[in-house]
Amino acid sequence: MSIQIDEFSLAVSEILDGYAEDIQEAVAQAVEETGTKALKTVKAKSPVRKGKGGGRYKKGWRIKKERSGVLGTQAQVTVYNKTDGPLVHLLENGHQKAGGGRVEGIPHVRPAYEEAERLLPELTARAIEEAGER
C-alpha cells in the first residue's frame, strides 16, 4: 500500500481513530465483565435467613449495564439489590437490636467491591494491550 505524502496525515489519523475506538470498546467490555463478576461475588457471599422466605435478599441482587457516549462506548455498571435495598447497609455493617444489643455485620458487598477494584485495572490493561495487536 502506497500513500502520497499529502495523504499521510489523513491515513495516520484514520489508523489512530480506529485504535481509539478499539480501546474504548475493549474498556467498556472490561467494565461490564467486572460488574458481572462483582454481582456473582456479592450473591455468593450474601446472607440467607433461616426458615420460610429465606434467600429473598440473596436472590434480589441485580446488575444494570448502561452505555453512553459516542457509539455507546462508555460503560457504567451498577450492582444493586432490587428486593431489599434498605437492608444492604444494615446487613453489611450490623445494627442495634430493638431490645438492646447489637447484630454484627456480614461483609458481602465490601469483598465484591474490593475484587472489582482489583480486577478492573487488570482487565483494562489487558484490553489496551490486545487493542494494539489488532
User: In what helix (H) or strand (E) does residue 76 lie, and over which residues does it extend?
Assistant: strand 74-81
**pLDDT tens sequence across 52-61:** 878 899 999 9
Q: Is the pLDDT of residue 132 over 80?
A: no
The predicted structure's pLDDT at residue 4: 79
> In the block, which residue shows the cell 454481582?
39
Q: Can you list the alpha helix ranges (DSSP code H) found in 46-81?
A: 56-59
Which neighbouring-strand residues pair with 65?
Answer: 77
Q: Is the pLDDT of residue 134 over 60?
A: no
The predicted structure's pLDDT at residue 117: 96
Which residues neighbour 14 within 8 Å (Cβ) at sequence distance 6 or greater?
none
| pTM for the structure as a whole | 0.82
Mean pLDDT of 15-37: 89
Q: Is the pLDDT of residue 38 over 90?
A: yes
Mean pLDDT of 72-77: 86
**pLDDT tens sequence across 84-93:** 999 999 999 9
Q: Is the pLDDT of residue 72 over 80?
A: no
| C-alpha Rg value of the chain to the nearest Å | 22
Strands 102-103 and 95-96: antiparallel
| Cell representation of residue 86 | 434498605
